[in-house]
Structure 1
Amino acid sequence: MLIHIGFGNIVNTAKIIAIVSPDSAPIKRLVQNSKEKGLAIDATQGRKTKSVLVMENSQVVLSALLPETIVGRMQEGTDVSEEK
């Protein structure tokens, strides 16, 4: 299933390992290391990062939506094909 993570960006929910807040030092290091390795995908459109999605393939996706919002969309089962 695909879900919107903000500003027209979409991810595959089957590939998400974790959705975390970017505030802790370990997550900040994870994001920085991913950026250095070219494994970070910035989907914030220039806004403040409010959640970090850790993906199966060692990539991290930065989103401007709160983790609770993304989880709520996953639990609702709202996929891209249903949103018009």
Structure 2
Amino acid sequence: MEKELLNLGFGSTVVAQRVVTILAPNSSPMKRLKDEAREERRLIDATHGRKTRAMVVTDSNHVILSAIQAETLSQRFLLVGKDPKEKE
């Protein structure tokens, strides 16, 4: 069984099958989610010092921060496992 990886940008990846949701970090509930994950040591910062533009929640309840737009990550997620030459 081969694992497909979702590129979070700047050399960071996550196993696509573990992704539960991809969120925009703008709202107060998302900020609370990030703060709670930090307090519980479930936060992974993959922004490399850049502005957080997306949050990825995994099935293990970890929250991963990315500097790539949530819409872009969602499109990448949809393409995981597809042939790059294949048209939608």
TM-score by length of 1: 0.88
Q: Identify unmatched segments of 5+ residues in structure 2.
A: none
Q: Does residue 1:44 correspond to 2:30, yes or no?
A: no
* More helix, by proportion: 1
Aligned residues: 80
Deviation at 1:78, TM superposition (A): 6.1
Identity value in percent: 36
Q: Identify unmatched segments of 5+ residues in structure 1.
A: none
Secondary structure of the structure 1 residue equivalent to 2:6: strand
Once residues 46 and 36 of structure 1 are traced to their aligned partners in structure 2, the CA distance between those partners, rounded to angstroms, is: 20
Which of 68, 73, 81 does residue 71 from structure 2 map onto? 68
Which of 56, 60, 67 does residue 57 from structure 1 map onto? 60
Contact 2:18 2:59 (C-alpha < 8 Å) held by counterparts: yes
Runs of at least 4 residues off by over 4 Å: none
Which of 4, 9, 29 does residue 12 from structure 2 map onto? 9
